[in-house]
Structure 1
Amino acid sequence: MIAREPIFPAKRQHLYQKFGYSAAIRSGDLLFVSGQVGSLEEGTPEPEFEAQVRLAFDNLKATLIAAGCTLDDLIDVTTFHTDPENQFPTIMAVKQEMFPQAPYPSWTAVGVNWLAGFDFEIKVIARIPEKAQ
């Protein structure tokens, strides 16, 4: 059996326990991060779209930090969008800030019609640096 270690960001474990899943799972030198949304501390959506995208990245970074990773350790990114055509300019502007230079992670964007009240979600796979293993 492969060892799996759950990872939780500081001050948000209660949300994951409430809904019955882990923020991320460490398996060997890989980190599989569950979809991160722009949720406020109590779990509700940030209402303003750009702020929601930024908060989703903040929540992602908090999960990565809990595992000893940063955005530089990302290998694969999947994002989910409820209105891709209209949201993409905002998302691309935030993405450029988060990843200002190559090498960029692989990235897949998927249009969906439901994200439980959210409009953006980001799911990643990262390689955990040796110093954090």
Structure 2
Amino acid sequence: MVRAVTPSTIRPPFARYSHAVEVPVGHRLVLTSGQLGIAQNDTIPPDVEGQTRLCFENIGAILKEAGMWFQDIVRINAYVTGREHMAGYMKVRDEFTANPPPASTLMIVGGFTREEFVVEVEVIAAKAD
């Protein structure tokens, strides 16, 4: 069982995430590449919520292939192209994350390989053998 680490001596998280997550010995790790909001047929939703949903659906397919699921995510790194995309990203992220919430970082970046992309998400998942 992973353990959320949120010391009472520092400010609580700004949103639904843990400051840190401790993974005990004996867990397998899966580290994904950044997933973009693009469907298998190359369609890209025009909005951040649609793209974020596809990012997490792609992550779900990767985790399933590795014998894991969303509750096994211990860390998320996400990138959006503007502050206006933060709320939509966080809304969808929260639908896919379990308790305790994973450690998480959200960064604003200048862009991605294609102008249509507004979000990219990568995760680390851990599960006991």
TM-score, length of structure 1 as denominator length = 0.69
**Distance (whole Å) between structure 1 residues aligned to residue 120 and residue 54 of structure 2:** 10
Q: Which has the higher contact order (CA 8 A, sep 6+)?
A: 2
Aligned-pair CA distance for 1:45: 2.8
For the 8 Å contact 2:71–2:99, the answer to whether it is kept is: no
Aligned-pair CA distance for 1:44: 4.7
Aligned-partner residue type, residue 108 of structure 2: G
1:4-83, aligned counterparts within 5 Å? Answer: 29-83=28-82
- Aligned residue among 98, 105, 113 for 1:108: 105
Gaps of 5+ in 2: 1-26
TM-score, length of structure 2 as denominator length = 0.71
Aligned-partner residue type, residue 68 of structure 2: C
**Distance (whole Å) between structure 1 residues aligned to residue 125 and residue 90 of structure 2:** 21
Gaps of 5+ in 1: 1-27
**Distance (whole Å) between structure 2 residues aligned to residue 55 and residue 73 of structure 1:** 18
For the 8 Å contact 1:37–1:55, the answer to whether it is kept is: yes
CA RMSD between the two structures: 1.7
Percent identical pairs in the alignment equals: 31
Q: Deviations over 1:16-50 (max 9, x none)?
A: xxxxxxxxxxxx81111101111121345332321
Aligned-pair CA distance for 1:121: 0.7
Q: Say how many residue pairs are matched.
A: 101
